[in-house]
């Protein structure tokens, strides 16, 4: 499988580069000419690619991110309203169309980067690949916790500020007064000395023709009145009465339904298909074979094997007929591959260390280990994980010879549209994509396989088709969080100081910094070896942090215990030159009453993790009894620089924690005879109401550069949990999920002996 880059351009520094994104400009008239028809209706003026104002003085944010529940759209609207000095009650938002105009060069350079020269190194990329530009701008991809910290911080706020200046400029001309005598508030312009005032709408058309400053002035944190407030999310009322539209709620005239099954062994081919029984069943319209699909690059490289779909007049009938198909698949020579053989391979490859690539090398590792008085080694393992979005992958499509239209919930509307066009042999303009609320995304819905399958089926049956994955198909045909093994060695000196840290793990993806540790350990040697498997992998909430957070924050805990030190103090001492991290660690220890004695059978564990620009500290409290673990409480502290919507941020962190906890406690996809063995919530369960911990989240507004919130809650919970279990039982969980670990005490493990003893 090829190198998978979710944010290749970003890591090359396009957005991250200093001084690059300094001005947002709108060329006179241009947005209305090129994009206006896409997003404006009667009485509406498009003043900026991200903003229109109507004749009722309502301002609408046009947002290039999909809503999968993270509340990003409301927070982005807050950022726009803040800089625009808009009346919050007059603010609306809608999702930008998945249209070329929303990510083409004219828009990208003309509006977003007007007057800014790209560094030479970036130009070929930008000119060559529109999609990459869109990605670099965070324009349409929702993932990487990018919405607020990139789109919002760099573009949306600047858009609001620029438009405010354009309105002031237009009013100053009309009123014949200097711009600096005009103030703005609540979506109105005021000239106090003459007593004049007008709503923004009055000058919207004139302002749309103004050439804006390429460096609009942004507010400072102390001036915020809309940002920093917990505004009720706009999408919530529709999500309590059944009216919210998810892709699966779409119904087209004459629509039929498809159920689908792909080869159980990834990459396999269909050897034999007998559909005679299925075709004889009532309501069955067609049985369709779909050849292996492939994608690369920005969609997350994937290759998937053949699949078969049954089309019927109801989904139930389609599923029933699918169940009676006689299918024979090739196993691609993978019938011997199992989770056990995969971990044996990892173990071998780590030991062999062939072509080991180094992330960090500081000091002389051999010398440091020689001088150490205590040596510590451990191997950690995590299994494959599925996403199990609550809404299984599905789409509705209508495809003719020269047109394709698709209704879907996805994390990358423009990328999906490109992918469909390329694979259906159509021009981009011939493909229309309507994006809906996603019933969960978590990274799964950035892979376009389900969109393309649907479009192929629709083309073949020549009528609108809704294709829905069964839960089993969802679990068996995912792009999994990879299984990973990581080998550690640590050296402590006579004073119990950690002097050397060595780590070799298999397979590196993103983000590059995930395996690094923040602690001041003088000698470090962190590296990785390749150990590819045939199991498809993809982005899973927090990506590589989800495994390395568990590994490194567990092993540092082992080192603390080996040194006979308190795990919190041990960490704190090595963070003296990292004040932001230290502040989070101290705060979470304090909020969780770290050090307060606990009853027998209970334990407390701590973790600290920086990811996606945010720092999260967690303390988990557990009770372990009869070998079973109960997570009683999770206390979290996040420093994401600044919380645009504190309540929304808390919800995101707690959501991320439960997602990570589900995986840590129960999550395990196993491979048997080359195929995924799990198929339902019965064998791939999640945290539920009765085992959800009490949670509290505290926010630090440090004023540092903004970080994400959708993912950073996830990585730290597994290590804090494992550390708490160690505190409670003295047993170290080095392989997830926890449910597989034998945590019974000796007495519990041999009750008869205990009984005799008693």
Partner 1 sequence: MTTFTLNGEVRTVNTDPETPALWVIREQLDLTGTKFGCGMAQCGACTIHVNGRAQRSCITPVSSLEGASVTTIEGLKGADGTLHALQQAWIDQQVPQCGYCQSGQLMSAAALLAENPSPSDSDIDNAMRGNVCRCGMYGRIRSAIKQVADASFYDAMEGNQNG
The residues of the shown chain that bind partner 1, judged by CB under 8 A, are 68-71, 232-233, 235-246, 248-249, 251, 257, 282, 314-317, 319, 388-392, 437-442, 468, 470-471, 647-648, 651, 654-659, 661-662, 680-682, 686-690, 692, 694-695
Q: Based on CB atoms, which residue is closest to partner 1, 318 or 404?
A: 318
Q: For the segment 662-681, give every residue that binds ligand FES (CB under 6 A).
A: none
Q: Based on CB atoms, which residue is closest to partner 1, 449 or 474?
A: 474
Q: Tell me which residue has its CB nearest to ligand FES.
A: 390
Answer yes or no whether residue 754 interacts with ligand FES by CB under 6 A: no
**How far apart (Å, rounded) are the C-alpha atoms in residues 616 and 636?**
7
Secondary structure (3-state) at 557: helix
Among residues 176, 216, 175, which one has the least CA distance to residue 198? 175
CA–CA distances in Å: residue 482 to residues 156, 160, 379, 448: 34, 41, 16, 19
**How far apart (Å, rounded) are the C-alpha atoms in residues 19 and 146?**
19
Among residues 573, 464, 445, which one has the least CA distance to residue 520? 573
Q: How far is the CB of 69 from ligand FES (least distance, A)?
A: 5
Q: Which does 668 bind (CB under 5 to 8 A by kind): partner 1, ligand FES, none?
A: none
Q: How far is the CB of 333 from partner 1 (least distance, A)?
A: 33
Answer yes or no whether residue 228 interacts with ligand FES by CB under 6 A: no
CA atoms within 13 A of residue 501's CA, in its CB half-sphere: 26
Q: How far is the CB of 219 from partner 1 (least distance, A)?
A: 26
Q: Which does 116 bind (CB under 5 to 8 A by kind): ligand FES, partner 1, none?
A: none
Name 553's Cβ contacts closer than 8 Å, sequence gap at least 6.
607, 608, 609, 716, 719, 720, 723
Q: How far is the CB of 259 from partner 1 (least distance, A)?
A: 11
Q: For the segment 244-303, give every residue that binds ligand FES (CB under 6 A).
A: none
Q: Residue ranges of the alpha helices (H) in 407-477?
A: 413-424, 449-461, 471-476
Q: How far is the CB of 386 from ligand FES (least distance, A)?
A: 15
Q: Which does 579 bind (CB under 5 to 8 A by kind): partner 1, ligand FES, none?
A: none
Q: Which does 659 bind (CB under 5 to 8 A by kind): ligand FES, partner 1, none?
A: partner 1
Q: How far is the CB of 242 from partner 1 (least distance, A)?
A: 2
Q: How far is the CB of 636 from partner 1 (least distance, A)?
A: 12
Q: Based on CB atoms, which residue is closest to ligand FES, 69 or 199?
A: 69
Residues near ligand FES (CB under 6 A), total: 3
Secondary structure (3-state) at 516: coil
Q: For the segment 423-442, give every residue that binds ligand FES (CB under 6 A).
A: 440
**How far apart (Å, rounded) are the C-alpha atoms in residues 667 and 114?**
48
Among residues 277, 533, 281, which one has the least CA distance to residue 384? 533
Q: Based on CB atoms, which residue is closest to partner 1, 70 or 418?
A: 70
Answer yes or no whether residue 69 interacts with ligand FES by CB under 6 A: yes
Q: Which does 68 bind (CB under 5 to 8 A by kind): partner 1, ligand FES, none?
A: partner 1
Q: Please check whether residue 399 is in contact with residue 519, taking contact to mean a CB–CB distance below 8 angstroms.
A: no
Q: For the segment 436-475, give every residue that binds ligand FES (CB under 6 A).
A: 440
Name 332's Cβ contacts closer than 8 Å, sequence gap at least 6.
265, 266, 267, 268, 269, 305, 534, 674
**How far apart (Å, rounded) are the C-alpha atoms in residues 80 and 96?**
15
Q: Based on CB atoms, which residue is closest to ligand FES, 440 or 496?
A: 440
Q: Based on CB atoms, which residue is closest to ligand FES, 409 or 515?
A: 409
3-state secondary structure 673-728: CCEECCCCCCCCCCCCHHHCCEEEEEEECCCCCCCCCCCCCCCCHHHHHHHHHHHH
Q: Which does 651 bind (CB under 5 to 8 A by kind): partner 1, ligand FES, none?
A: partner 1
Q: Please check whether residue 611 is in contact with residue 542, taking contact to mean a CB–CB distance below 8 angstroms.
A: yes
3-state secondary structure 298-345: HHCCEEECCEEEEEECCHHHHHHHHHCCEEEECCCCCCCCCHHHHHHH
Q: How far is the CB of 253 from partner 1 (least distance, A)?
A: 13
Q: Which does 291 bind (CB under 5 to 8 A by kind): ligand FES, partner 1, none?
A: none
Q: Which does 647 bind (CB under 5 to 8 A by kind): ligand FES, partner 1, none?
A: partner 1
Q: How far is the CB of 601 from partner 1 (least distance, A)?
A: 20
Q: Based on CB atoms, which residue is closest to partner 1, 202 or 668?
A: 668
Q: How far is the CB of 701 from partner 1 (least distance, A)?
A: 20
Q: How far is the CB of 681 from ligand FES (least distance, A)?
A: 8
Q: Which does 165 bind (CB under 5 to 8 A by kind): partner 1, ligand FES, none?
A: none
Q: What residues form DSSP beta bridges with 621?
A: 604, 633
DSSP assignments along 460-487, one per residue: HHTS-EEEE--HHHHHHT--BBPPEEEE
Q: How far is the CB of 389 from ligand FES (least distance, A)?
A: 8
**How far apart (Å, rounded) are the C-alpha atoms in residues 368 and 313?**
70
Task: Look up tokens 């102390």; give the residue.
Answer: 222
Integer distance in angstroms from the first to the last C-alpha of the chain?
58
Q: How far is the CB of 86 from partner 1 (least distance, A)?
A: 22
Name 594's Cβ contacts closer than 8 Å, sequence gap at least 6.
568, 588, 604, 606, 619
Q: Which two tokens stand for residue 127?
A: 């000119």
Q: Which does 389 bind (CB under 5 to 8 A by kind): ligand FES, partner 1, none?
A: partner 1
Binding to ligand FES by CB under 6 A, coded x per residue (else -) over 386-425, reads ----x-----------------------------------
CA atoms within 13 A of residue 5's CA, in its CB half-sphere: 12
Q: Which does 241 bind (CB under 5 to 8 A by kind): partner 1, ligand FES, none?
A: partner 1
Query: Where does this chain bind ligand FES (CB under 6 A)?
Result: 69, 390, 440
């Amino acid at each position: 499988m090829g190198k998978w880059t979710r944010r290749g351009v970003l890591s090359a520094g396009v957005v991250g580069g200093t001084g690059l994104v300094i001005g947002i400009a709108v060329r006179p008239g241009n947005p209305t000419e090129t994009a206006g028809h896409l997003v404006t209706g009667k009485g509406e003026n498009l003043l900026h690619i991200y903003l229109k104002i109507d004749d009722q003085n309502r301002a609408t944010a046009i947002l290039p991110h999909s809503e999968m529940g993270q509340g990003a759209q409301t927070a982005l609207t807050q950022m726009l309203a803040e800089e625009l000095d808009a009346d919050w009650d007059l603010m609306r938002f809608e999702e930008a169309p998945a249209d070329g105009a929303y990510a083409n060069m004219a828009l990208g350079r003309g509006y977003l980067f007007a007057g800014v020269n790209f560094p030479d190194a970036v130009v070929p990329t930008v000119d060559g690949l529109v999609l990459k530009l869109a990605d670099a701008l965070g324009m349409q991809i929702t993932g990487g916790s990018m919405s607020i910290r990139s789109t919002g911080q760099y573009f949306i706020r600047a858009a609001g500020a620029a438009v405010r200046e354009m309105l002031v400029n237009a009013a100053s001309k009309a009123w014949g007064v200097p711009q600096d005598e005009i103030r703005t508030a609540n979506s109105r312009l005021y000239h106090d000395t003459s007593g004049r005032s007008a709503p923004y709408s009055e000058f919207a058309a004139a302002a749309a023709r103004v050439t804006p400053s390429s460096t609009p002035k942004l507010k400072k944190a102390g001036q915020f009145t809309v940002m920093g407030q917990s505004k009720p999310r706009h999408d919530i009322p529709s999500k309590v009465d059944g009216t919210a539209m998810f892709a699966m709620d779409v119904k087209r005239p004459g629509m039929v339904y498809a159920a689908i099954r792909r080869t159980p062994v990834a990459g396999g081919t269909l050897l034999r298909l007998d559909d005679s029984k299925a075709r004889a069943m009532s309501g069955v319209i067609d049985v369709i074979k779909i050849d292996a699909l492939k994608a690369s690059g920005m969609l997350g490289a994937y290759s998937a094997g053949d699949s078969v779909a049954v089309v019927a007049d109801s989904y139930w009938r389609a599923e029933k007929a699918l169940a009676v198909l006689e299918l024979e698949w090739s196993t691609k020579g993978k019938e011997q591959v199992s989770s056990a053989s995969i971990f044996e391979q990892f173990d071998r490859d780590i030991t062999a260390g062939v072509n080991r690539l180094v992330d960090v090398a500081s000091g002389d590792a051999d010398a440091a280990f020689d001088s150490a008085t205590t040596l510590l080694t451990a191997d950690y393992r995590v299994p494959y994980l599925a996403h199990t979005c609550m809404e299984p992958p599905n789409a509705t499509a209508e495809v003719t010879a020269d047109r394709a239209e698709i209704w879907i919930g996805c994390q990358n509307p423009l990328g999906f549209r490109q992918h469909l066009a390329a694979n259906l042999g159509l021009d981009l303009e011939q493909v229309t994509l309507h994006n809906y609320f996603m019933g969960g995304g978590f990274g799964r819905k950035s892979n376009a396989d389900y969109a393309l399958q649907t479009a192929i089926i629709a083309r073949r049956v020549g009528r609108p088709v809704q294709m829905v994955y069964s839960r089993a198909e969802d679990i068996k045909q995912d792009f999994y969080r990879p299984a990973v093994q990581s080998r550690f060695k640590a050296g402590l000196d006579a004073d119990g100081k950690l002097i050397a840290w060595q780590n070799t793990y298999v397979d590196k993806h993103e983000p590059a910094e995930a395996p690094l540790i923040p602690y001041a350990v003088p000698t470090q040697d962190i590296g990785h070896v390749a150990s590819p498997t045939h199991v498809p992998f993809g982005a899973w909430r927090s990506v590589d942090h989800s495994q390395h957070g568990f590994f490194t924050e567990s092993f540092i805990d082992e080192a603390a215990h080996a040194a006979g030190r308190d795990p919190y103090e041990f960490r704190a001492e090595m963070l003296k030159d990292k004040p932001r991290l230290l502040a989070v660690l101290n705060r979470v220890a304090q909020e969780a009453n770290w050090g307060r004695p606990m009853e027998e059978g209970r334990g407390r564990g701590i973790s600290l993790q920086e990811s996606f620009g945010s720092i999260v500290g967690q303390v988990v409290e557990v009770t372990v009894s009869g070998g079973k673990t109960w997570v009683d409480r999770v206390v979290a502290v996040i420093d994401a620089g600044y919380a645009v919507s504190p309540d929304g941020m808390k919800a995101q962190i707690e959501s991320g924690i439960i997602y990570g906890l589900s995986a840590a406690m129960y999550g395990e996809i196993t491979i048997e005879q080359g195929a995924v063995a799990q198929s339902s919530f019965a064998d791939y369960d999640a945290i539920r109401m009765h085992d959800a911990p009490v949670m509290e989240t505290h926010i630090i507004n440090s004023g540092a550069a903004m970080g994400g919130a959708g993912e950073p809650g996830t990585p730290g919970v597994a290590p804090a949990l494992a550390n708490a279990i160690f505190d409670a039982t003295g047993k170290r969980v080095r392989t997830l999920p926890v449910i597989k670990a034998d945590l019974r005490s000796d007495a519990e493990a041999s009750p008869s002996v205990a009984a005799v003893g008693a």
